Structures are given as structure tokens and as C-alpha cells.
Amino acid sequence: MYAVGTPILYSRMGVCQVESIGAPPFQKSNERRYYKLRSLFSASGERIYVPVDASASLRPLINSGEASDYLQGLSRLQPDLFRSRRPAEIAAHYQKVLAACEPENCLLLLKEIYLKERELSVRSKRLGQVDIQYQRIVERLVCEEFAVALHTTPDLMKNRLYAAMEIKQ
């Protein structure tokens, strides 16, 4: 169980902070407890209620040492480039990679889309809509988590991530 005030990663929603634990206002009984989460990087003020026993969609954030290690190893990550002309197959592949929302999988997916984009640009082509959609999702997840771990902003983290992909080691 996560404590109030703890920043966590909530599946594909990104970095959230636990505001409270208890029965949400929409629940008539106190049978089930929920985390009340607030996104750390959204200005919408939206609150998310997640059952405490649904911990599969929640995980603790990486620490600064882990973030630094991931950044140093990013240029060596070798994703398998998934190729298909069918957007549904591409989306299914991306969903499978993102399912656990683990940092290494997210970085592999980010790099896969990045390499795909570079490959297409050589032929004066662009990414498809599914690629762009998942690129935005994975960028947000990775940049938010790494920004918290390394005490920076998601925008600065995005620049750092793409620079780290380019470093030849």
C-alpha cells in the first residue's frame, strides 16, 4: 500500500501523487478503499480513484540512480522494429510493450518509434497516426517519471532522452 503524498506511476496516466486513501464520494458504502490520485503534471485538476487492491496498474517510481543508469544505457538498447502496414497490428504491438509500464519497456518502445521515424525521414516519409499517438504516450510516461527522479521538468527530460539515444558507446 502506498502512503499519502507518495508519487507513483499509474499505468498510462503518468506520474500521480496519492492524495488520500478511503471511500470515494461516489461509493455508497465503505466496503472498498481507493487511492485518490492527482496527476503531478496536468493542469486539469482531475482526480483519479483507483481501488487499493488494483495494485497491478500502480508502481513506485524509479530513483535517481536508476534513472541515470537507464539514460547511460539508452544508446545501447536495441529494440526490435515491428513492421506492419495495418494500424491495428501496430497498436496491438505497442499496447503489448506498454502493458506492464516498466521503464525498460517504455524506453525500448520510445527508441523503436524514434528509429522508425529516422528511417522514414530518410525516404521523406512520416510516422503514421498510431505511431505518433503511442510516441506521445510513451514520451509523457518516460519524461514525467525521469523528471521526478532527476529533479527536472518533463520538457528538459525529453531533450535529454533524445540526446542520450544519439550517443554512441
CATH number 1.10.150 given to 7-59: no
Where does the pLDDT of residue 100 fall: very low under 50, low under 70, confident under 90, or very high at 90 and above?
Answer: confident
pLDDT digits (tens, 9 = 90+) for 24-65: 888 777 788 899 999 999 888 889 899 898 766 889 999 999
Mean pLDDT of the region 133-147: 96
Of 42, 39, 43, residue with least CA distance to 18: 39
Q: Which amino acid is at 159?
A: N
Q: What is the mean pLDDT of residues 85-114?
A: 93
pTM over 0.85: yes
Q: Which three cell numbers stand for residue 138?
A: 510513451
Residue 163: Cβ within 10 Å count: 12
Task: Give mean pLDDT, residues 79-100.
Answer: 92
169 has pLDDT over 70: no
pLDDT band at residue 19 using 50, 70 and 90 as cut-offs:
very high
- Of residues 73 and 169, the one with the higher pLDDT is 73
The fold adopted by the segment(s) 62-166 is Methane Monooxygenase Hydroxylase; Chain G, domain 1 (1.20.58)
- Residue spans in the chain of domains classed CATH 1.20.58.1290: 62-166
What are the cell numbers at 167? 550517443
Predicted local confidence at residue 55, as pLDDT: 66
* Adjacent-strand bridge partners of 15: 9
Domain with CATH 2.40.10 in the chain: 7-59
